[in-house]
Amino acid sequence: MPIEVKEKPKYAIVAAVQLPSVNDVEFQASLTELRELAKTLGYKVVSTFVQKRSSFDATAYLGVGKRQEIRGFVHNDSEYTEYAESVVNADNREIDVILVDHEISPSQARNLENEIGCEVMDRTMVILEIFHRNARSRAARAQVEIARLGYMAPRLREAAKLAGPQGRQRSGVGGRGGGESHTELDRRKIRDRIAELQQEIVAMEAERKTQRARRQERQGLATVALVGYTNAGKSTLMRALTGSEVLVANKLFATLDTTVRTLYPESVPRVLVSDTVGFIKNLPHGLVASFKSTLDEALDASLLLHVIDASDPGFERQLEVTNQVLAEIGADEVPRIRVFNKIDHVGDAAMQAEHEAALRAQYPDCVVMSAIRPEDVAQLRQQIVTFFQQDLVETELFLPWTAQQLRGGIYANCQVLEERADDEGAFFRVRGEAETINKLREQFSRVGAA
Ligand SMILES: Nc1nc2c(ncn2[C@@H]2O[C@H](COP(=O)(O)OP(=O)(O)O)[C@@H](O)[C@H]2O)c(=O)[nH]1
Ligand SMILES: [Mg+2]
């Protein structure tokens, strides 16, 4: 068994102000999403603190009373723990971070941090961190870095102010030229870097044109990408489809990329499943470009599974947005299966049946399922395998007795439907990829003749 290294859990609390313009449903949906995003970053969210206000507190986002309450919770004053909505591991927690469900100003973040005595991350920062971890292509990484620099710039200014006179001191030494302050220098550096990255991206646009070619090249590989909104159940489905719950580590790909695994039980052809960065309901405007760029990698897949949370009242809108963005990045040509997930989470049995019927009527080829039902997962797996087997050929392979050592290769690469033997060797009725079968045939005749 592979050894699983358990990381020390990181604990977080979520805090948010509900403005009068935001209704309860929207507010809760946003909080749920933030908790889900936090989970993606490896945090255990132990509690949520909310407050209704007519506006954000100018100095520290939350009102003074709420700040004290959170401080009490973080420092484990028993007097305050009764306020917590839910407490996990209450006696042994050490809160690592407070996640705020809005983008807040640098000074608000700093004041909140000082008062509560705990690191603060706002919504934008959480999302940036997720994109940063998900961006693999050069274009995506450049795009995410631009967004990060844009977010950091005003915060550096704030840090310089905080550093006092020294931070602002004019200094003409060290090649800094013309007595520029550190802040101005940093600001200029950031501007230059952003310009440089933007140029790189323009240059890469040309490269993107060859993407189609790259996809064709990859066609030998059967790849599926899960796309859809955060919280739709992509990661749950991914684990269920690839058996990674049982397998712990998928040796071949574990080190390369934690978001790519093989469909399990293994099929012919072998199918690779990958998770993609989720759509976000409440995506800060400045992050749209980096989101699209990060998602772009879905283009490489030969099949998309568009996962939709059928129990979310806003699922239709989400479906539209996903379609639109996939079209914008040119992924609308990739074959797609619509998967309406979480049907178990829709009211009672009668409501589920009604909802399912309506979905099937509107989206004839869709899958309606629940990722927590193994039989549903097995059915989806079969549908994926069937998709990739469309291109398989059925044929007969002959393996001379002189090349029997290659027998394993047949079973490893093809589905063997029948096996029989005569004086010369063995015959296999197989189903497999044409290219693979041709290679096996060449190999057999070479070894057999030798
Ligand atoms: N009831 C129900 N919950 C589900 C289902 N699929 C996923 N979930 C839950 O929904 C939440 C989000 O799932 P996750 O796979 O992390 O979503 P992702 O953001 O798309 O990767 C988790 O708490 C899952 O346990 C389902 O079919 N039914
Ligand atoms: Mg996920």
Can you spell out the DSSP letters for 147-169? HHHHHHHHHHHHHHHHT-HHHH-
User: What backbone torsions phi and psi does residue 8 show, to the nearest 5 degrees?
Assistant: -65, 130
Alpha-carbon torsion angle 327, 332, 333, 334, nearest 10: 140
- Ligand 1 pocket, residue 137 CB under 6 Å: no
Would the pLDDT of 399 be above 60? yes
- In the block, tokens 């699209």 appear at 292
pLDDT-based confidence at residue 178 (cuts at 50, 70, 90) = low
Q: What is the widest separation between alpha-carbon atoms in the chain?
A: 94
- Ligand 1 pocket, residue 278 CB under 6 Å: yes
Q: What is the mean pLDDT of the chain?
A: 85
> What tokens appear for 432 in the block?
């497999």
- Ligand 1 pocket, residue 146 CB under 6 Å: no
Cα 234 to ligand 2 centroid, rounded to whole Å: 5
What pLDDT does residue 252 have?
Answer: 41
pLDDT-based confidence at residue 165 (cuts at 50, 70, 90) = low
pTM of this structure: 0.81
Ligand 1 pocket, mutate which of 40, 134, 231, 305 (most atoms under 8 A from CB): 231
Report the share of the chain in percent with pLDDT over 70: 83
Residue among 407, 392, 391 nearest 443 (CA): 407
Please list the residues that pair with 341 across neighbouring strands.
309
CA distance 303 to 86: 40
Using the Cα atoms of residue 361, residue 364, residue 366 and residue 367 in order, give the sign of their dihedral.
positive
Of 16-25, 215-224, 242-251, minimum mean pLDDT range: 242-251
Cα 235 to ligand 2 centroid, rounded to whole Å: 4
- Ligand 1 pocket, residue 230 CB under 6 Å: yes
Q: Which residue has a Cα nearest atom 9 of ligand 1? A: 233
Q: Which CATH architecture has domain 10-130?
A: 3-Layer(aba) Sandwich (3.40)
- Ligand 1 pocket, residue 232 CB under 6 Å: yes
How many other C-beta atoms can be found within 10 angstroms of the C-beta atom of residue 419?
A: 15
pLDDT-based confidence at residue 242 (cuts at 50, 70, 90) = very high
- Report which bound ligand comes closest to the CA of 230: 1
- Report which bound ligand comes closest to the CA of 229: 1
What pLDDT does residue 219 have?
Answer: 55
293 and 299 in contact (C-beta within 8 Å)? no
Would the pLDDT of 426 be above 80? yes
Kindly give the pairing relationship between strand 271-275 and strand 260-262. Answer: antiparallel
What pLDDT does residue 308 have?
Answer: 98
- Ligand 1 pocket, residue 239 CB under 6 Å: no
User: What digits encode the pLDDT tens for the residues 288-339?
Assistant: 999 998 898 777 889 999 999 999 999 999 999 999 999 998 898 899 999 9
Q: Which residue has a Cα nearest atom 26 of ligand 1? A: 342
- Ligand 1 pocket, residue 231 CB under 6 Å: yes
CATH of domain 214-389: 3.40.50.300
pLDDT-based confidence at residue 197 (cuts at 50, 70, 90) = very high
Would the pLDDT of 440 be above 70? yes
